[in-house]
Structure 1
Amino acid sequence: MAPQFDAVVVGAGFGGMGAAIELDRVGLRDFVILERESDLGGTWHVNHYPGLAVDIASVIYSYSFAPNPHWSRLFAPGAELKKYAEHIADKYDLRRRMRFDTVVDGARWDAAHQHWVVSLADGETITGRYLLTATGFLSQPYTPPFPGIEDFAGKIIHTTAWEDDFDLTGRRAAIIGTGATAVQLVPEVAKKAAALTVFQRTPIWVVPKIDAPIPPAVRQLFAKMPVTQQAARLVNTGLLETLMIVGVLHFKQAKLLNKGAGALAKAHLRAQVRDRDTRRRLTPHYDFGCKRPTFSNHYFRAFNEPHVRLETNSIERIEADGIRTADGHKTEIDTLILATGFNLWDVNFPAIEIIGRDGVNLGKWWRENRFQAYEGITVPKFPNLLSLNSPYSYSGLSYFTTIEAQMKHMGRLFRELFRRGETTFEVSAAANTSFLNRVTDKLGSSVFYGGDCATARSYYFNQHGEAALLRPTSTVNAHREAVAFPLDDYVYGTAS
């Protein structure tokens, strides 16, 4: 029985579109992209809260082979990322292969027919020779089980389900969470709300944001001479590499650089917040890089406003008209905004149930045998599966670095598969173990294990205390290995 499609791609964000572009390049053009949302774009479709913007310079937050010379700012607003995603879908003829409002329940390897059977929530099944999961790293919103939240009589809104017509003017609002989303959102809510209380569990490192409009003349130059934009991309990539690779991943060898980044963030805080006690409570007590830092010129300043208050006592319960903290204080509110982030390790790896060869459940296997994936993309016992958001896959700070490295790995793997005249591949257990040992050893020099991360509560760490998200190598290394990994690390076969 031949499968319905050459490949099934789960997710229509930038990762899924990158995978689809590579499938077209290697000649696997009969594929379908399944997306649970109503449109493409992934996080840039789901998120549209006030203040949303990319937190990586726009010039590198894009495919290197499809640069966008039209960014309005150095850090583009979210709407422009959504527009760029639509442009990519149209340019590479992807939209006609997409199915929206399609929820995938799971996928199972059919050993008899050597293909994947993908089950949809509406009862339909789809078969594909290859399965590519591109469900994103931050795709499963998390709401902590606050006692009493079901009794709250006011408005509750999660940042991933923002209502554009919701007016905050005159509201007594609370924001729970102080991660990267809240850093963007707090200043915007403060402009309209009559009172705003920010509930902070863990402070975040914030450094100055060198942001400004990109002059029309520069945009015209980028359009007419793409090499100039490539040069700007190279410079920005180098700066991020210094911050991430040297200061974070090589913490033991470059503590001074790490401490310097922390000192810059503290100076930024001192310059922007007048009240000493507020500054103290906004200061992290973990090393820079233990959790992802962010950029902002407005977040700290919001706490100077008389109607904005920082609350650091733990939440005891939520009541009908407010939030009571452990010290007995009650903050009366009528609007509760949840900027509580995402659940990575419990439900995101993987985001759907995946059953491989011999009935092995990927999620269960990862949790019982450590989170792992060869070169951050394939797993033993899971033939013809390319898991694009996997442990040890995230390279650098721009998601596109990861996407393009994985596209190169896909291209090399499929071309070798076709050269051999085969149709199935599976990474060997030995190759996978060797890669896991290598990245684990390299992470020993990182801030995650060499620094003080005890109070960070970082999503970089899984439930076993392992920092299994980031690939601990340079961008250059990730891309070099994507086109030079040993081809015999895979076992190849022919479908019956």
Structure 2
Amino acid sequence: MSTTPEFEVAVIGAGPGGIAAGVKLRKAGIDDFVMLERADDVGGSWHENHYPGIGVDIPTLAYQYSFARNSEWSRFFAKGAEVKQYHVDVARQYGLYPRIRFNANVEREVWDDAGSFWTLHLSDGSTVTARFLISAVGAFVRPKEDVGIPGAKSFKGKVQRPTDWDDDYDMNGKSVGIIGTGASAVQIIPAIAPEVGHLTVFQRTPVWSVPKPDFQVPTVMKKVLAAPGVQAGIHGGVLVVVDLVLRGALKATRPTLDRFDAFCIRNYGKYVARVVRDPETSEKLTPRFGLLAKRPTMSNGYLKAFNRANVSLVTDPIEKITPTGIRTRDGVHHKLDVLILATGYEVFSDPETYRPGTVVGRNGFDLAKFFNEEGLQAYESVSVPGLPNRWTLCGPYSWTGSGWHAFVEMTADHAIRAITETRRRDAQVCEVRKEAADAYHRKVHARADLLRYYLAELNGHVPTYYRNSQGDTTYIRPSGFFEAARGNRKFPLDDYRYDSVVAQEVSA
């Protein structure tokens, strides 16, 4: 049997993580790679999502690659189209487009024990083989197909989803309902409220939404940002602050967290009451859970939208979706022309996101079975024993509060450092040692105890993707940013074992 795959490296995804991996592979002198992207262009979420009002929710200076800093952002918080174009430009600048196969949806990843490479099965029936595999799928793996509401597929009007928005559909004067009040809905609601006839917001859980200090970047500021080292210095300073805050939070006591939440809830309630004129609506929009229990949002228009005469808030639970609208449990039927399903994603930190048989490693090791039985875990969040030559850029206990690009750059560096070392040793197989992975997980799990208290006990009544179905907090890495960066970029090389295909064939 052949032990020579088509490519040395395959990268799944051409979003922010995939682009980071592709650029860093080229910088490392590894040019024999292919990128497999399920969509028809790069950008990931920024290509798939183009709903009204979309934009970044952190300052744009912190939402870019360290190797491709842009001083020409038009806004302090850039809008979606500009962010998408940034990723297109970076992919072009570093010559990634010729290496990308678009409309290539990977359904299964199977390790070939005999050949010591990965076989990727695509939805069109074709396969791609590669010695090394980098999964850059991202945090939000796929939109939730099942919204969990009876009759969801019975609606006969126009259905819009953030990930599949019909820009040509005119909602002017229409009766519109939106289910969900997460990050996407917070941007959509104020963007469409002025044009629709009536907008009904169906809220299960209120969301924290604080003012967004957004503005057009003046020319003089762009010139300053273009000076060598300025953006890097500013971004580095911000990361230091974020690092100190996160480290301090992880050392807090349980009573301190209790008081912190109570203080935030009390004062945010006063803020909402000042912004939203109707007391009853204001009360419904005020969370009764901690600031960090769910993803907080930033918006200058979300709360104000509820002051409009054509916007109403419904908090009665939804009984069912009907062909003509939504029926709530109080017996009211809300007739709609348009239904927006802002109901979220399947997230990388939930075991249910991983389907049995879709990632199969050495000796039949099944990643989904492992995560469901043993809990989500991975060495430095990127590699799992039993999955040789495979790294994921967004894995268990990974996010450290930084911008997305800084995060995926460090995990891409980990994967490429391991690949480079494998090549240096004239080996073909690189697999993290189980004892190293187990020791790492024990440390991380113990350090996450305070996070579990905050998300699973103090705020256990709140639905949030920061806490998974196993009651664990695998979305967040319980360490500062710089500790995570060191761990990924300077891990002990001998925490992996390196073998050659020839040696394996001889021993067999």
Q: How would you bin the TM-score normalised by the shorter chain?
A: over 0.9
Which residue in 2 is equivalent to 1:453?
Answer: 459
Could you tell me the TM-score, scaled by structure 2's length?
0.93
Alignment of 1:401-420 (within 5 A): 401-420=406-425
Show structure 2 runs of 5+ residues with no match.
503-508
> Quick one: distance in 2 between partners of 1:314 and 1:102?
39
User: How far 1:222 moved relative to its partner?
Assistant: 1.5
Alignment of 1:200-239 (within 5 A): 200-223=203-226, 225-239=227-241
CA contact (8 A) 1:290 1:448 kept: yes
CA contact (8 A) 1:249 1:472 kept: no
Which residue in 2 is equivalent to 1:39?
Answer: 41
Deviates further, 420-429 or 306-315? 420-429
CA contact (8 A) 2:400 2:477 kept: yes
Could you tell me the TM-score, scaled by structure 1's length?
0.95
Alignment of 1:338-353 (within 5 A): 338-344=341-347, 345=350, 348-349=353-354, 353=358
Equivalent residue in structure 1 for 2:288, among 270, 282, 285: 285
Equivalent residue in structure 2 for 1:360, among 365, 386, 403: 365
Aligned-pair Cα RMSD in Å: 2.0
> Quick one: distance in 2 between partners of 1:350 and 1:243?
36
- After superposition, the Cα gap between the structure-2 partners of 1:349 and 1:145, relative to the gap in structure 1 and judged at 3 Å, is same
> Quick one: distance in 2 between partners of 1:102 and 1:61?
27
CA contact (8 A) 1:395 1:401 kept: no
Q: How many pairs does the alignment contain? A: 495
Equivalent residue in structure 1 for 2:468, among 462, 469, 481: 462
> Quick one: distance in 1 between partners of 2:241 and 2:267?
15
User: How far 1:178 moved relative to its partner?
Assistant: 0.3
CA contact (8 A) 2:356 2:369 kept: no
Which residue in 1 is equivalent to 2:486?
Answer: 480
1:361-406, CA deviations, whole angstroms, 9 ceiling, x for partnerless residues? Answer: 1112111111111101000000000112211122224212321211
> Quick one: distance in 1 between partners of 2:271 and 2:402?
21
CA contact (8 A) 1:205 1:262 kept: no
Alignment of 1:86-125 (within 5 A): 86-125=88-127
User: How far 1:247 moved relative to its partner?
Assistant: 4.3
CA contact (8 A) 1:11 1:34 kept: yes
Equivalent residue in structure 1 for 2:314, among 307, 311, 316: 311
User: Are 2:378 and 1:373 aligned?
Assistant: yes
> Quick one: distance in 2 between partners of 1:64 and 1:323?
47
1:439-484, CA deviations, whole angstroms, 9 ceiling, x for partnerless residues? Answer: 1111112263586212220011221111111111111111111222
Equivalent residue in structure 2 for 1:197, among 190, 196, 200: 200
> Quick one: distance in 1 between partners of 2:172 and 2:104?
36
Show structure 1 runs of 5+ residues with no match.
none
- After superposition, the Cα gap between the structure-2 partners of 1:251 and 1:288, relative to the gap in structure 1 and judged at 3 Å, is farther
- After superposition, the Cα gap between the structure-2 partners of 1:265 and 1:232, relative to the gap in structure 1 and judged at 3 Å, is farther
CA contact (8 A) 1:357 1:383 kept: yes
CA contact (8 A) 1:12 1:134 kept: yes
Q: Which amino acid aligns with 1:422?
A: A
CA contact (8 A) 1:35 1:101 kept: yes
CA contact (8 A) 2:399 2:475 kept: yes
- After superposition, the Cα gap between the structure-2 partners of 1:318 and 1:369, relative to the gap in structure 1 and judged at 3 Å, is same
